[in-house]
Amino acid sequence: MTRSRADYHDVEVVHTQRLTRHMIRVVLTADSLATFGDDLHTDAYVKITFVKPELGLTPPYDLAELRQRLAPDDMPVRRTYTVRWYDQQKRQLAIDFVVHGDEGVAGPWAVAARPGDRLVVSRPGGAYTPSAEADWHLLAGDEAALPAIAAALEAMPDNAVGDAFIEVDSTEDHQELTHPDGVLVHWLHRDGVHAGTSTVLVDTVTKSPWREGRVQVFVHGERGMVKELRNYLKNVRGLSRDQLSVSGYWAYGRTEDRFQAEKREPIGQIPLD
């Protein structure tokens, strides 16, 4: 019998693990995760809905109905996160949350998360998987993209070659990554400069030697950085749309609600052509 995939999963925290100074892994479980998804892309992501436990709401949430009776501050909040790994047998998935301070919903929630806490996650989306056809791979991103970059590196064949540039604050944010010997991992440090305002990633990628052959690119992270690298890759390196996976994951000074809303305005758009 084929079971259909649920639209959402009412998940519970199994345990949390502080991976590095600014990253916490939260492992989640639900019986319905047995049918979470086959053949996930390496950048698979979910929309997480956060609700205040004291409101006693049960999913699925009827947002229109809730808007009628809840104060704006009590409304469910949605945030987007990468699926770092999924274990169908155990019906578990892991999400690595950047710890970015007291602001926001998801980051502070992860810091305080305890076994038994509940969340609702959507079915997975995603679009990028490293191609075995590429001559080389170029990956670049900040901490928010580190889970997706780590998953991509793990999925590459042993003979893959390329460069992965990862922007973090300091050596305290380095992770042990599994990657082919031919894919060099370059850790870049902001050294105390606020995330989203450093130029270290753009400066390093644009000055790095360019390899021979057809490249497949993955550039995800803070929107301004992604836009600059997209312009370099299109205008200087002449890459075509089908070689590029470029996506803003967050924007400096914006909540995700505002960041998502701005995708309908020029400031929020990252054209591929």
3-class SS string, 126-167: CCCCCCCCCCEEEEEECHHHHHHHHHHHHHCCCCCCEEEEEE
Map the footprint of ligand FAD across residues 35-64, applying CB under 6 A: 45
For ligand FAD, the closer CB: 32 or 82: 82
Tokens of 49: 């809905």
Least distance to ligand FAD, CB of residue 224, Å: 11
Q: Is 256 in the site for ligand FAD (CB under 6 A)?
A: yes
Query: What whole-number distance in Å separates Cα of residue 166 and Cα of residue 187?
Result: 5
Secondary structure (3-state) at 95: strand
Task: Name the residue number minimizing CB distance to ligand FAD.
Answer: 104
- The answer to whether 250 contacts ligand FAD (rule: CB under 6 A) is yes
Alpha helices for the chain (secondary structure H) = 63-69, 106-112, 146-155, 200-207, 223-231, 256-261
User: Exposed, middle or buried by CB within 10 Å (0-12, 13-18, 19+), for 146?
Assistant: buried
Residue 241 Cβ, how far from ligand FAD at the closest point, in Å? 19
- The answer to whether residue 103 forms part of the interface with ligand FAD (CB under 6 A) is yes
98 binds ligand FAD (CB under 6 A): yes
Considering beta carbons, is residue 136 or 221 the nearer one to ligand FAD? 221
Q: Does 9 bind ligand FAD (CB under 6 A)?
A: no
d(CA 176, CA 162) in angstroms, rounded, equals: 18
> Binder to ligand FAD among 9, 25, 79, 234 (CB under 6 A)?
79
Q: Which of 254, 262, 268, 270 binds ligand FAD (CB under 6 A)?
A: 254
246 part of the interface to ligand FAD, by CB under 6 A: no
CB of 83 to ligand FAD, least distance (A): 8
Residues for the chain: how many in total?
Answer: 273
Q: In what order do the strands lie in the sheet containing 45-50?
A: 77-82, 45-50, 118-122, 8-20, 23-29, 92-98, 85-87
Q: Which is nearer to ligand FAD, 105 or 185 (CB)?
A: 105
| Binding residues for ligand FAD (CB under 6 A) | 45, 79-82, 96-98, 100, 103-107, 143-144, 147, 195-196, 249-250, 252-256
